[in-house]
Structure formats: structure tokens, C-alpha cells
């Protein structure tokens, strides 16, 4: 049996000329529309809309709504002129319902997801929830073990945030919605030199080794805290010359501390181990000496306990489950008491400390109630980020709770935090959660777009504005997409 091909060609039609069907029974939630928008930005508008001769939609209501939200002027359509009114209504129902009747071959689905994951494509763009992906991939031994996130740093379902941090809460959720990564646009919207305003935060696409870039993102602000997790080991090229010299990179970035930090500012840098020729390498030694020579004390060294080790064969070593946080300063700052005390409110006992001569000193707090909060210890028990996709291309992957914890420990609300390696915007999300103002720089336009996508996913009502001309992100994306299309 041969059926005629009724849609002879694909047309490009203005969005303003197309109309949703008034009786469309298919409902698209805001979350699904965000998924459709992410897909369009990642892969392009690959599925034409089906319309009748009057421009009324037959199929593609969600895609049209996403295109409108993205500021697209035109979209591809196929005009179906051969259907009666009843057939149009029937096709609207069949187009959605028939797809719902399909099921998955779980083994083939798992293989397909593994292949996509191996190609470093963000699985979050596929429409599966994090729990679904974990369940599917777990059968292949690819699930990452969950640890317990700190109780007071656990995510609020409504905001994706929490209060001050503690360690080892048994009822903390394993997944933080702030750690989800949407797929960035395939063609970067951001261009070098763009300064984006995300609420109270600033994100510059630029080079943090450049003094002018640092001055631009900081303005008149000075940071109470610098937190960053710079590339190490599997490094991205951070200079236009291609080869990356880690000491030169770090010195180039940290030479601007005097221009960006308050006199009492604290510098906390997350670094992990790397191995070469079956030995771990203290690659940070030269940079530590350089920092000390410039007057930055090696004030503290902390361990980030990431929870259960990652599965796999580690060539005879135990599975990695920790990284370091190096703490520098020129002036000490008392850490905030942010960890809830287990015995808060109960009376202190009267015992004291025994001196070398055997005498026992009087305990000054005997009989007083145990305080509600205490200063954190130097082991940060924070479950590692479990995201896949483009985030795993970035060599410094960390959860929102890591910068959040350190912000709460070493800053106060409305303080400024400087992030010279902005990556996918994790520190900005922590700033939003804690009420701190983040000033971030990221070299790669694709990562800036990813940071903005994460921000918009969690805070869809918060504006993202280009500082130079006050246009919002969607308007800039549409204008630059149109210029790219015209050039092609």
C-alpha cells in the first residue's frame, strides 16, 4: 500500500502568524516547557510544527510556546491541507496518545543511555528524572553511591536551599535540585566580554588573569571570601596559547587578590589529587610557596569528605572519596557557628581540663546550657555532585552545598564572594541560596550559558540582564540567533 506524501515541503513561518488550537487537550507544565526550551537550545528546532491552512496548530503546541518564550521570530512548519475538521482533531489526539502507548526495552535503553553518557551529552536534556536515570543506570553498575548531605544544608523543595550547615543528618535528601544541569545551547548565546546580571550577582565572560576583567566584574565591591575550584589534572585550556601551565595560570589569577579582596578577606580553594606514573603529585607546591611569598598565610587545610567512594577499579588504590580545601588569609576572621549542636539546651557538665601537674582547671560553662550551634570542624562532610553530561567535562565538579557551607562559615549576609573560575555557576547558586552577592568570571561562553540555564531552571522569575544594554537573555539569544541564521 502506498500513501501519498501530503506535506510536500517545510516552510519557515513567523511565530506571530501561528495560533494554538483553542480546544487543545494536551497540557504542558512549566517544567516540561523548560525541557522543550533546553532541547531547542541544545539541538535546534528539529521537529517542524504541523498546522492547517489557516495557521492553526495541529501538533506542536509545546514547541510553539517554547519558541515564543525563547524569542524566536520564525519556526519551521508543515501545512496539512488535506484534513477535515474531524480528522484534524483526531490527529491532535493520536499524535500524543500513540507515542504514550510505547514501552522501553530496559536493556537497550540502558545501553543507549550509557552511550549518550559516554559521549558526554547531558542526560538531563533527555526528559528523564534524576531518579529514573539512577534506577536505569544502576543495573549497569553505573550508579553513584549516595551519602548523607548536611541536615541544615539540605535542599528546600521550593527554593532549592536551606539554612546553616551541619554534618551527617540521616534524613537529608540525597539529591539537591540545584545540582541538576540543563543542556546549554548548542550555539553559544554568550560572547566574550558579556557581563550578565543575575539578580544581585554578576557573571562576566572573560579571563580572570586579566586585571581589567576583574575590575569590571567587581566594580566598587571588595570580597569577604574568594571560593573557587580551579581546573587541575584534566585541565581546560585557560589561555589562547593552548598549552596550560598550572602555576602560571594560578599566579595569573591570584595576582589580583589585592584589587578584589577586603583586607580581612578569606581565600578558600578546592583542589583534588592527581596521579602520574602511579604516584600522587603535589602539583600545588609551587603555587603555595608563591602565595606565601605574597603575604598570604597558609592558614588552614581542610578535607572535603564526599561520602562513599566512586565505584570502579582504581588500579589498586582505595576509591577516592575526599578532596582538599586550602585556606589562605592575611587577617584571621572568626568562623561563624553554623553547625547545630547535638545536645543543644542540655546543661554542661562540671568537668575541666587536667594540666601537666595533675591539677584540674575549673570549667567556666559548668551548669550552663549547651549552645545551639558550634564552629564547623575541618572535615566538610558534603555529598559529591552526581551530575553527568557537560558538567563532567569541567574538571572541577562540586555540589552547591560546598560553597554554601563555606559562605555561611566565613561571610555574613549581603557580603560579596569572588569566584574567578565560574564554571557552570554553582557558586552563584550558593550565593542566591545564602543571601551573598557573587562576582564570577568564566572564560568559556558555553559554560556561561550553562550557568545561566541552571539559574533560570531554578529561578525562572529572576531576571538575567546583559549589563551593556539592559536586554534580557531571551532577547539577546533571539537577536544573535537571527544574525547567525542570516550569516548562514
**Residue 241 above 50 pLDDT?**
no
**Residue 382 above 60 pLDDT?**
yes
Cα–Cα–Cα angle for 40, 44, 50, nearest 5°?
A: 80
**Residue 361 above 70 pLDDT?**
no
How far is it, in rounded angstroms, from Cα 385 to Cα 155? 13
How far is it, in rounded angstroms, from Cα 120 to Cα 126? 13
Domains of the chain: 11-100 (3.90.1530.10), 106-138 (no CATH), 177-338+377-487 (3.40.50.150), 339-374 (no CATH)
How large a percentage of the chain has pLDDT more than 70?
73
Strand partners, 304: 323, 380
Which of the two residues, 118 and 380, has the higher pLDDT score? 380
Q: Report the SS3 class of residue 405.
A: helix
**Residue 451 above 80 pLDDT?**
yes
* Closest listed residue to residue 54, CA positions, set 17, 90, 88: 17
Give me the pLDDT at residue 346, please.
Answer: 72
Give me the pLDDT at residue 125, please.
Answer: 67
Give me the pLDDT at residue 449, please.
Answer: 95
How far is it, in rounded angstroms, from Cα 359 to Cα 356? 7
The answer to whether 191 and 468 are in contact (CB under 8 A) is no
Q: 3-class secondary structure for 222-280?
A: CEEEEEECCCCCCCCCCCCCCCCCHHHHHHHHHCCHHHHEEEEEEEEEEECCCEECCEE
Convert the pLDDT of each residue in 138-175 to its tens digit: 554 433 333 333 333 433 333 334 333 444 333 344 56
Burial of 266: CB neighbours in 10 Å, binned 0-12, 13-18, 19+: buried
* Closest listed residue to residue 460, CA positions, set 469, 470, 473: 473
How far is it, in rounded angstroms, from Cα 422 to Cα 441? 5
Question: Mean pLDDT, to the nearest integer, of 445-457?
Answer: 94
Q: Where are the beta strands (DSSP E) in 67-141?
A: 74-79
**Residue 34 above 80 pLDDT?**
no
Amino acid at each position: 500500500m502506498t500513501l501519498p506524501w501530503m506535506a510536500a515541503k517545510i516552510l519557515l513561518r513567523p511565530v506571530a502568524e501561528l495560533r494554538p488550537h483553542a480546544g487543545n487537550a494536551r497540557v504542558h507544565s512549566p517544567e516540561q516547557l523548560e525541557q522543550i526550551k533546553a532541547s531547542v537550545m541544545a539541538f535546534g528546532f528539529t521537529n517542524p510544527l504541523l498546522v492547517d491552512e489557516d495557521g492553526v496548530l495541529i501538533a506542536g503546541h509545546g514547541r510553539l510556546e517554547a519558541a515564543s518564550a525563547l524569542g524566536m521570530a520564525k519556526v519551521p512548519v508543515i501545512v496539512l491541507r488535506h484534513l477535515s475538521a474531524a480528522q484534524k482533531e483526531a490527529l491532535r489526539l493520536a499524535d500524543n496518545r500513540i507515542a504514550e502507548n510505547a514501552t522501553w526495552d530496559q536493556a537497550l535503553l540502558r545501553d543507549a543511555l550509557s552511550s549518550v553518557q559516554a559521549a558526554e551529552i547531558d542526560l538531563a536534556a533527555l526528559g528523564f528524572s534524576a531518579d529514573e536515570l539512577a534506577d536505569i543506570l544502576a543495573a549497569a553498575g553505573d550508579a553513584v553511591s549516595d551519602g548523607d548531605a548536611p541536615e541544615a544544608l539540605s535542599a528546600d523543595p521550593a527554593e532549592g536551599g536551606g539554612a546553616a550547615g551541619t554534618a551527617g543528618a540521616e534524613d537529608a535528601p540525597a539529591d539537591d535540585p540545584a545540582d541538576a544541569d540543563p543542556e546549554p545551547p548548542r550555539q553559544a548565546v554568550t560572547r566574550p566580554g558579556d557581563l550578565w546580571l543575575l539578580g544581585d550577582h554578576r557573571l562576566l565572560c572573560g579571563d580572570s588573569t586579566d586585571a581589567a576583567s576583574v575590575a569590571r566584574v567587581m566594580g566598587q565591591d571588595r570580597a569577604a571570601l574568594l571560593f573557587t575550584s580551579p581546573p587541575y589534572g584534566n585541565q581546560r585550556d585557560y589561555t589562547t596559547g593552548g598549552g596550560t601551565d598550572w602555576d602560571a595560570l594560578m599566579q595569573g589569577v591570584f595576582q589580583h587578590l589585592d584589587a578584589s579582596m577586603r583586607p580581612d578577606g578569606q581565600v578558600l580553594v578546592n583542589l583534588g589529587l592527581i596521579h602520574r606514573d602511579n604516584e600522587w603529585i603535589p602539583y600545588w607546591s609551587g603555587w603555595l610557596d608563591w602565595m606565601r611569598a605574597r603575604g598570604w598565610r597558609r592558614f588552614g587545610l581542610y578535607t572535603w569528605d564526599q561520602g562513599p567512594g566512586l565505584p570502579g577499579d582504581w588500579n589498586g588504590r582505595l576509591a577516592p572519596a575526599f578532596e582538599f580545601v586550602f585556606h589562605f588569609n592575611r587577617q584571621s576572621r572568626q568562623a561563624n557557628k553554623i553547625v547545630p549542636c547535638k545536645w543543644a539546651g542540655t546543661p554542661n557538665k562540671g568537668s575541666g581540663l587536667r594540666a601537666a601537674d595533675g591539677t584540674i582547671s575549673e570549667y567556666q560553662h559548668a551548669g550552663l546550657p549547651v549552645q545551639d550551634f558550634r564552629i564547623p570542624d575541618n572535615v566538610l562532610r558534603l555529598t559529591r555532585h552526581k551530575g553527568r553530561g557537560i558538567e563532567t567535562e569541567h574538571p572541577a565538579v562540586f555540589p552547591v552545598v560546598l560553597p554554601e557551607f563555606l559562605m555561611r562559615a566565613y561571610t555574613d549576609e549581603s557580603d560579596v564572594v569572588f569566584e574567578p573560575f565560574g564554571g557552570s555557576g554553582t557558586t552563584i547558586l550558593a550565593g542566591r541560596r545564602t543571601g551573598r552577592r557573587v562576582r564570577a568570571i568564566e572564560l568559556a561562553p558555553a559554560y556561561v550559558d550553562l550557568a545561566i540555564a541552571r539559574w533560570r531552571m531554578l529561578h525562572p522569575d529572576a531576571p538575567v540582564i546583559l549589563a551593556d544594554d539592559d536586554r534580557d537573555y531571551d532577547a539577546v539569544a533571539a537577536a544573535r540567533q537571527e544574525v547567525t541564521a542570516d550569516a548562514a
